[in-house]
Chains A and B, each alone.
Chain A
Amino acid sequence: MLKTFPKGGIHPPENKLTSSNSIKRMPVPKVVYVPIAQHIGIPSEIVVDRKDKVELGQVIAKSGGFVSSNIHSPVAGTVTKLDMIVDSSGYKKQCIVIRTDVKNETNFEEIDYPLKKEITLEPQEIVRRISDYGIVGLGGATFPSHVKLNVKEDKKLDCLLVNGVECEPYLTADHRLMLEKAEEILVGIRILMKALHLHRAVIGIENNKRDAIEVFKKLTADEKEIQVAALRVKYPQGSEKQLVKAILKREVPKNGLPLDVGVVVHNVGTIFAIYQAIQHQQPLIERVVTVTGKQLKEPSNFWVKIGTPIKDLVEEVGGLPEGTRKIVNGGPMMGKAIKNTDVPVTKGTSGILVIHEDEASRGEPKACIRCGDCVDVCPMGLEPHLLMNLSEKGLYEKAAQEDILTCIECGSCSYVCPSHRPLLDYIRFGKSIAKKMVTSKN
């Protein structure tokens, strides 16, 4: 029996169109747009000015606090503007615009480094470098990675979980990375185990990626400390709490973190970035992005410089097809719809999904028929129909008592609702107000 989390979850069509397309390298963009708020937490502080010349990988914005991160220049070039541009959140955010110096050779150097297995840095140095090199969670949450590695004395850790689940439909960035950089990821796992003084790691991969499971099983055949867990396909298994439950049968307490049950979870993409930072001194300036959609000419996986306009990616796969009505930054379940393709790729961009008009519109909301499907699929044991109702009526305090704040916004409820009710929209809204009420109380 394959493992999975017990309560809730859905099986949306997988549509992994690009799972057998190896990762290609995007040409270096002429101009990059680097927002300073690419991670959860405090935005970074800009440390360059207009007309400054910057080197490849130079720090251009410094971490603004503990829960923050450095940002490095993805190209060698000249800062042309410090501008406000709309990012994938839909809001205008401060952004560093850099024109690539086409004569600077470092921009075009091959960055496929040879595998380096030996880990020379000490745990303290590893954590510092992960912080310095701007590593954040690449699974989508963009939580600064070093924060997860600063474990207080009173917390007892015993396991590192490696998140190779990629449960979002369409996305294959992590899948391809696991196939192409498996050994590097294993070194990355050992780096984290060393930094956290751990002797156990489990790589969780859903069973729709059998090839990746095989690769890691083969590579870890003689390993005592690193195991591979094949998981039954179910969305949202990539969510930390569901993954911990699925693999270790431990339940993260309400409002708690995996740390509370002795676990740290990192995404495979993040772990590869950590490998690059520790073994090859490369800061986080590029990532894998899946560019996909049923009507696209050539859906592909790319190595993309942070700050590359999404426009460039779309051009590279043959342009926006006729009848495109929606462009999503991320996967179809949790991704954000963006207004246009001027929005740049950031550290959290795992995919670009282009949706045709046939599938872009929501169904018309009808009356709730109390079927209870939303309750069945909620992985957090909530009652979405009730929470929507309370939010709609402005009963936020009651909604907080019904645990609205523990919603992980996976969207399973809206996905299944046979009456097309905008459950998650109302829950998000109610959640944001309930959160403010709770924080102002404390």
Chain B
Amino acid sequence: MDSPPIVISASPHVHSDRTAKRIMYDVVIALVPAFLVSVYVFGIHALIATTAAVGSCLLFEYLIQKYFLRTEVTILDGSALITGILLAFNLPATLPVWMIIVGSLVAVGIAKLSFGGLGYNVFNPALVGRVFLLICFPVQMTLWPTPVENNTSLVDAISGATTLGIIKDGLQIGETMGTISAQLPSNMNMLLGITGGSLGEMSALALLLGGLYLIIRKVISWHIPVTVLATMAVMTGIFWWADPTQYVSPIIHLLAGGAILGAFYMATDLVTSPVTKKGMVVFAIGIGLITVVIRLFGSYPEGISFAILIMNAFVPLINKFFKPRRFGSKIKATIV
């Protein structure tokens, strides 16, 4: 009898159908609604910026892995695609394409591959790219195209500040919150995405929709996004309650400045966030606190990118300190 070759391997002999690739592409799917909103708001600019970021991230990963590191090329695993999309989402839609390419090189080349590639990077690659651009090109990086209500097709001519930028500038020249508020977009417009800001932070609603999808698909757990937003709400709420002439309401803080984009898509990056739920909560509280401190007292109007990068650096320590409780450890030897 010519028997077929029999495979011997150690248990388990079954595997769940969840793969890293599927997780990555789920993130991509979750970002689609927000992308559609940004195309609606910024038109061709959103398409150009996203294509440039995604294309250059994939290209750089391919070139570096193939010709520089001479390792396996992993551009199809979805991670470079996500880095590209998230980088684009964090930029002004009208940023010159060559700057986007520089940002992609920093994100993929420095933040990801020089640390050892997927799984070994300490910092969120897209955010490193974004912060690098913000420091190098502060003018261009804060020139936000602002959509005009009921005329969302042409945005070239108008450049304005973001919601948080208006507040910070207003406070600096001594205006009161009352006069500043008149210049702010309505909460409803912020929720829907008709406001000034980076490409992907537009619509809180679209981002929340994608975030919900990620939670339902178990790509992320609720711990990080909910804790980040709750911490921010509590902190900014306290200040607003104490002095509403100097501070805006927590609702504006949550809807503006990429808080939701950061909380659901950047802070939850699997590689650069803690592995235990306890660790995630601590990490998220840190992000919330630092974000609020930067927004209220720092020189930048927005702070979540910095906050996430700072907390990324603490992840190894958090993982070491917040371990899962071992079964059967430190229990009272009582018999009921």
Contact = CB atoms under 8 A, between A and B. Distances in A.
Interface in B254-304: 270-277
B327 A251 contact: yes
Contact of B14 (A250, A325, A333, A337): A333
A428 B10 contact: yes
B270 A369 contact: yes
B70 interface: no
Interface in B110-153: 117-120
Interface stretch (B18-26, B91-99, B193-201, B244-252): B18-26
Interface in A321-366: 323-328, 330, 332-340, 353, 355, 357, 359-363, 366
A406 B326 contact: yes
A323 B327 CA distance: 41
A360 B7 contact: yes
Interface stretch (A218-226, A255-263, A268-276): A255-263
B328 A252 contact: yes
B12 interface: yes
B8 interface: yes
A357 B5 CA distance: 10
B10 to A, nearest CB: 5
Contact of B335 (A156, A169, A380, A422): A156
A149 interface: no
Interface in A376-398: 376, 378-383, 385
A241 interface: yes
Q: Give the bracket for the number of chain B residues in contact with chain A.
A: 35 or more
B18 A418 contact: yes
B245 to A, nearest CB: 44
Contacts of A337: 6-11, 13
Nearest to A249: B336
A250 B117 CA distance: 44
Contacts of A357: 4
A196 to B, nearest CB: 15
B326 A324 contact: no
Contacts of B276: 372, 375
B4 A324 contact: yes
A12 B14 contact: yes
Given A248-B336, A380-B326, A368 B119 contact: yes
For the side of the interface on A, what is the size category?
35 or more
B117 A367 contact: yes
B333 interface: yes
A411 B12 contact: yes
B11 A381 contact: no
B173 interface: no
A326 B6 contact: yes
A140 to B, nearest CB: 11
A414 B15 CA distance: 7
B329 interface: yes
Given A340-B6, A382-B324, A418 B11 contact: no
A241 B328 contact: yes
Contact of A241 (B270, B272, B327): B327
A424 interface: yes
B331 interface: yes
B323 interface: yes
Interface in A11-66: 12-13
A441 interface: no
B319 to A, nearest CB: 8
A425 B10 contact: yes
Interface string A77-102: 00000000000001000000000000
Contacts of A428: 10
A323 B335 CA distance: 53
A355 B22 CA distance: 25
Given A169-B14, A251-B328, A370-B272, 18 more contacts: A7-B324, A254-B326, A254-B327, A333-B12, A337-B6, A340-B3, A357-B4, A363-B19, A367-B119, A370-B270, A380-B327, A381-B325, A383-B323, A406-B328, A418-B18, A418-B20, A422-B10, A428-B10
17 contacts: A248-B336, A255-B328, A260-B333, A323-B4, A328-B13, A332-B11, A337-B6, A367-B117, A369-B119, A381-B326, A383-B275, A406-B326, A416-B18, A418-B19, A418-B20, A419-B119, A424-B11
Interface of A: 7, 10, 12-13, 90, 156, 158, 169, 241, 245, 248, 250-256, 260-262, 320, 323-328, 330, 332-340, 353, 355, 357, 359-363, 366-373, 375-376, 378-383, 385, 403, 406, 409, 411, 414-420, 422, 424-425, 428
For the complex of A and B, the 4 pairs showing the least CB-CB separation, nearest first, are A372-B275, A411-B12, A367-B119, A254-B328
